[in-house]
Amino acid sequence: MDRRESPSRKDDYVISLKRVPAESPHKKTGEKLKPAAIGVAIPEVSPDDDARVALADWMADKKNPFFAKSLVNRYWKILFNRGLVDPEDDMRETNPPSHPELLDALAQDFVQSGYDLKKLLRTLTNSSAYQLDSTPNSHNGDDTQYFSRYYSRRLSAEVYMDAINQVTGSSDSWGNQPQGTRAIQLPDDSYNNVGLLREFGRPESMTACTCERQTSASLGQSLLLASSVQIQEKLQVNAGMANRLAFDIKRTNEEKLQELYMAAYSRPAQPSEVEVALAFLEKSKSQPNALPQRAWEDLVWVVLCSGEFLVNH
């Protein structure tokens, strides 16, 4: 591949294919090596051909035993927080899958579907394994690899940011991206300077390793949620959730709480939660310079920072 300055756009580049033989010198001997793949012979690639096409043909070949298993395992890791082969980047004979028959069946079904990713996602999310409760019982409390319960995982930075926007009724402007672009649609790491994406571990794409994405908790995350202008602006947005609930005089506070809980948790608020929230709203009226919207902003903020909202469980 070649990278050169664009003849028509300043400070932009054009990526093009070099018309040279598809070969690479051996690091030690200097021997010019032709493209090769595991287990099969690769046809001759001429200087006018794109070697990436030959690579894609080999990867998607139904006889290739590696690609489908690797991709299925990676999607399993995304959804279940642990791969059938773990770590998901370490697929080798001496690191066998926890459920080899399952991995084989999923890979075979993926190939037969024509590598249909949507069908793969439907298969995984409709499974009883995915729908298990994450709460351990007396039999599976120590299980960390056999999926006898769901393994809780924190939402990724992009999903968390989009979820916050959905609940608060806010949105983000991404410079050169179309209006309404979601965080999960961002094309590269140049947008990671936004506080929430950076603090919650959106990777910088410096390597191909999935380990670059950080999912651990940090003090910076707590400080951002507690005091950042970014979060405060989302809570205060005009016609947003807090603003709308605060000035809705046609419904009771309990009815409005149910809307908030359904939007954030997809479940009704429990009686104990309603009791605490109503007591807080009542108490807030006696505070100096009390404003209805500020109290509702606090309630929405508590929901957004809760473990139930932040964690897929």
Q: What is the pLDDT of residue 71?
A: 94
Q: What is the pLDDT of residue 65?
A: 84
Q: What is the pLDDT of residue 276?
A: 95
CA Rg value for the chain? 25
Q: What is the pLDDT of residue 205?
A: 72
Give the span between the Cα atoms of 163 and 157, in whole angstroms: 10
> Which tokens is 166 given?
């959905």
Low-confidence ranges of the chain (pLDDT < 70): 194, 206-211
Give the span between the Cα atoms of 72 and 107, in whole angstroms: 6
* Domain residue ranges in the chain: 2-59, 60-151, 154-313
Tens digit of pLDDT for each residue in 48-107?
888 888 888 888 888 888 999 999 999 999 899 899 999 888 889 899 999 999 999 999
Angle between helices 292-305 and 229-236 (to 10 degrees): 120
Q: What is the pLDDT of residue 64?
A: 87
**DSSP characters for 225-292?**
HHH-HHHHHHHH-TTSHHHHHHT--SS-HHHHHHHHHHHHHSSPPPHHHHHHHHHHHHHHTTSTT--H
The answer to whether residues 98 and 146 touch, using CB atoms and an 8 Å cutoff, is yes
Q: What is the pLDDT of residue 191?
A: 77
Q: What is the 3-state secondary structure (H, E, C) of 84-111?
A: CCCCCCCCCCCCCCCCHHHHHHHHHHHH
Kind of pairing between the strands at 13-16 and 311-312:
unpaired
Angle between helices 100-112 and 67-80 (to 10 degrees): 110
